[in-house]
Amino acid sequence: MRMPVKRIIVTTVIALLTLLAAGQGKTGQRPPVSQRLFYGGSFGLQFGTITNIEVSPVIGLWVLPRVAVAAGPSFQYYKDPYDRTSIYGGKAFVQLMVIQDFNNVIPIGLNLGIFLQGEYDGLSLERAFFDGSPDLTGRIYNGTFLAGAGISQPVGPRAFMNFTFLWPLAQSEYTLYTSPEISVSFYF
């Protein structure tokens, strides 16, 4: 019997959080929520024959020193020579910092972090644009699970720039993602 992808991801995330929580010693007080919150997101601009403008702000929380969860809305305007559309919805992700500071592992002056990330994007798509038939009306929902890894570069005391490489775990009828989906995001 095949286990659905969603159940595999949820089981894996719960197992990782359990293992990480068990490994957290009581070495000190946990910082208040206000110090564990982070804000940021990503944006994209492309102009020319194809115009693509994307804005995806997020708010997140470091639930453990190495585990963050975040969520936020997403909006994209897309125009090609034939038509245009708006895509909107939201995304949520879990991020596990595998290496918080590469310089602590190999002292060569690189203060990069390396992380794993699982993400779910739920988007509303214009049916006529994605089905290719102008007779169709309304919108359709498209949900996609993505997984991958990334590099986190500190750019200030509480600010980071992340380069993330995500692959869709299963393709739907309405493919929106390349393999890999590369994004640059900023958090503070």
Q: Note the pLDDT of residue 49.
A: 92
3-class DSSP string for 134-170: CCCCCEEEEEEEEEEEEEEEECCCCCEEEEEEEEECC
The tens place of each residue's pLDDT in the chain, 188 residues long, gives 444 555 555 566 555 555 444 444 455 688 999 999 999 999 888 889 989 899 999 999 999 999 999 999 999 999 999 899 999 999 999 999 999 999 999 898 889 999 999 999 999 999 988 887 777 889 999 999 999 999 999 999 889 999 999 999 987 777 777 788 899 999 99
Is this model's pTM higher than 0.85 or not? no
| Closest C-alpha among 17, 11, 13 to residue 118 | 13
Distance CA 144, CA 119 (A): 8
Q: Note the pLDDT of residue 1.
A: 43
Q: One-letter amino acid identity for 184?
A: V
**Ordered domains of the chain (ranges, CATH):** 33-187 (2.40.160.20)
Distance CA 77, CA 50 (A): 11
Q: Note the pLDDT of residue 131.
A: 82
